[in-house]
Amino acid sequence: MHFPRPRRAGSIRLGAALSAALVALPVLALAIAAARGSGDLWPHLIRYVLPQAVLETALLLAGVGVVVVGVGTGTAWLVSCHRFPGRRVFSSALVLPLALPTYVSAYAWLDVMHPAGPVQSGLRALLGVTDPRAIPLPEIRSLPGCIMVMGSVLFPYVYLAARAAFLTQGADLLRAGRGLGAGGMRLFLSIGLPMAWPAIAAGASLALLETLNDVGAAEFLGVRTLTVSVYVTWITRSSLEGAAQIALMILALVAALVALEGWARSRARGAHAVREGARPDRRTLSPLAGLFAALFCALPVLLGFLVPVSYLVWAAWRRVAEFGLPPDLGAWIGNSALLSGAATLLVLPAALSLAAGARGDAMPDRRAMAGPLLLRASLMGYALPGGIAAVGLIVAFGGLDDLTERFGDWAPALSGTAAALILAYFVRFLAIPAGGLDAAYARIRPQMDWSARSMGAGRGRLLWRVHLPLLLPALSAAALLVFLDAMKELPATLLLRPFNRETLATALYAEAARGTYEEGAVAALALVVVGLPVIGLLVAGGRPKERPPKRMQRSESRP
């Protein structure tokens, strides 16, 4: 049966093309700025900046990778395949650290481990000593401290991916392994780990991308990464070309991590698939083993969520009780909400046009690949660190401002305005709704489009009357995720925010830079509260459905 090829709406295709072009704009601008840079910059960078930055970035990525893979995979294996006290609580609680931005956790740990902080003060009071140097504790402002803080916040990326693999793909395989006599570590190493490795690699690559994107935690804890070097080179040395040259090195690391995730996805598509929703095969642990399993699951929740959040609540309460709420708190919240809301309103229509364009090219008469290619190009923006996107946009907008000055004031300046920051949010977070809507479109059967077309519905009416009602849950979730991620974004906000306009993230950064930790506790706690709805979405929507067991019916009748 022949179905007529639908006519594409020009606005949908134009919107998709403009969205993909905006995502590519910072990368192109960085390449141009780096090429125009003075040849005198490279000797200085190679001699004084890059050796330490490259070494500390590599060590930080390696350390965080080991922590997130070890903790995320181990906890996922325990809660998915074993029974022990507190398993149901830990299954949800292990997602909580994602509510904290890495710089908020680092901010809290700095004061917790300070010589005058609660840990060392409590130990001195307990031991009856007064000399702060009498109790040698590990220094939190160090590379190992940064690895601990960031790993304890980012391990849920691996935990969520590994748990989904163990509960869906692995249920029947693990049951078969137990039937053949495998158990304990042998079952994990021979069946569980190889089967879940693609999902683990995908989660680890996301955690490492977040590590590369970080500025606040690394700077607070004294680690000079490449991303921190970009910020310092631009702000302290006023060298935009030098910042662009360092940013291109970060893009090479980003490309390697994206390649790792792509490899993991290809392996996952080819992995052995079993019945989704199959009942997991859980083994009951002995009392002693169950105690160790509960402690292993409790420790990352304690370090990644309970300790920093408890400190923030205590410090915020002390600040409010003594001085009241910060007088600028309303302005910080208003600026954050205004910028994040504007970015959300800009991102959602663009994401819808990208997903709809890819859907149009997936109709039966397939003649072009423009829609899917534009969609895939837009997804690369999430892999672009916020600071790198900001530097690229500074270069691009600076060139545009020079052009307007040369040929007349025919366009407003973009540098140093809220529009520049909103566009940076657009580049960074377009992938979130675009990917979600594309996945939601895949669940809409093409027969619905064909039926609407046969009744004379045009492209716009099909989108408005048929697709949008079905896409509304995915669109609502994407709007919340974009809004919350934009509220917490620090690197791009630091570089692009308008003068004298602070957000919650930049206000917290400023207080930490001044060393007044209690003053920023209220802003930090507000950011944590903002992040908790994301955790609710992950816990409610991300848990794989488990099919209840069939009850055995007795063939014999009761006596």
| Confidence (pLDDT) at 297 | 95
**Cβ-based neighbour number of residue 124 at 10 Å:** 16
Q: Rounded to two decimals, what is the model's pTM?
A: 0.81
Q: Which residue has the tokens 């930090």?
A: 524
The full length of the chain comes to 559
pLDDT, tens digit, 9 for 90 and up, residues 237-295: 767 777 888 888 888 888 777 777 666 666 655 444 444 445 556 788 889 999 999 99
Q: How confident is the model at residue 149 (pLDDT cuts 50, 70, 90)?
A: very high
**Do the Cβ atoms of 104 and 97 come closer than 8 Å?**
no
Per-residue model confidence (pLDDT) at position 302? 95
SS (H, E, C) 238-282: CCHHHHHHHHHHHHHHHHHHHHHHHHHHHHHHHCCCCCCCCCCCC
200-204 mean pLDDT: 85
Are the beta carbons of 463 and 16 closer than 8 angstroms? no
Other CB atoms closer than 10 Å to residue 275's CB: what's the count?
A: 11
Q: What is the pLDDT of residue 1?
A: 41
DSSP bridge partners of 283: 82
Residue 181 has what pLDDT? 59
pLDDT confidence band for 444 (50 / 70 / 90): confident
Indicate if 38-323 has the same CATH topology as 7-36+329-501.
yes
Q: What average pLDDT does this structure show over 467-479?
A: 78
pLDDT one-digit tens code per residue, 342-375: 999 999 888 888 877 776 544 444 444 566 677 6
Whether the CB-CB separation of 382 and 431 falls below 8 Å is answered with: yes
Give me the pLDDT at residue 94, please: 93
443/412: higher pLDDT = 443
pLDDT of residue 510: 86
User: Domains of the chain: which residue ranges?
Assistant: 7-36+329-501, 38-323
Least confident of 66-80, 340-354, 472-486: 472-486
For residues 359 and 138, the model is more confident at 138
Q: What is the pLDDT of residue 475?
A: 81
Token reading at 184:
């304990």
Q: Please report which helix (H) or strand (E) contains residue 414, including its range.
A: none
pLDDT, tens digit, for every residue of 482-499? 888 898 888 888 888 887
- Segment 407-436 shows an average pLDDT of 76
Given the structure tokens 């960085």, which residue do they identify? 30
Q: What is the pLDDT of residue 554?
A: 40
More confident residue, 320 or 63: 63
Average pLDDT on 81-85 reads 88
In terms of average pLDDT, the best of 71-80, 125-134, 379-388 is: 71-80
Give pLDDT, residue 361: 44
- Reply yes or no on whether the pLDDT at 553 is more than 70: no
Q: What is the mean pLDDT of the chain?
A: 77
Q: What is the pLDDT of residues 536-549, one digit of tens each?
A: 776 665 554 444 44
**pLDDT at res. 64:** 96
Q: Which fold has domain 38-323?
A: MetI-like fold (1.10.3720)
Burial of 413 (0-12, 13-18, 19+ CB in 10 A): middle
Helices 468-488 and 431-442, packing angle to 10 deg: 160
Per residue in 291-339, pLDDT (tens digit) is 999 999 999 999 999 999 999 999 899 888 888 888 888 899 999 999 9
Q: Write 11-15 long-range contacts (CB < 8 A, 24+).
A: 11/353, 12/353, 12/356, 12/357, 12/360, 12/459, 12/463, 13/353, 13/357, 13/370, 13/371, 15/349, 15/350, 15/353, 15/354, 15/357
pLDDT of residue 90: 94
One-letter amino acid at 440 equals: A
What are phi and psi for residue 11, nearest 5 degrees? -65, -35
Q: Looking at domain 7-36+329-501, does it have CATH number 3.90.1150.10?
A: no
CA-closest candidate to residue 251, choices 269, 230, 271:
230
Q: Is the pLDDT of residue 419 over 80?
A: yes
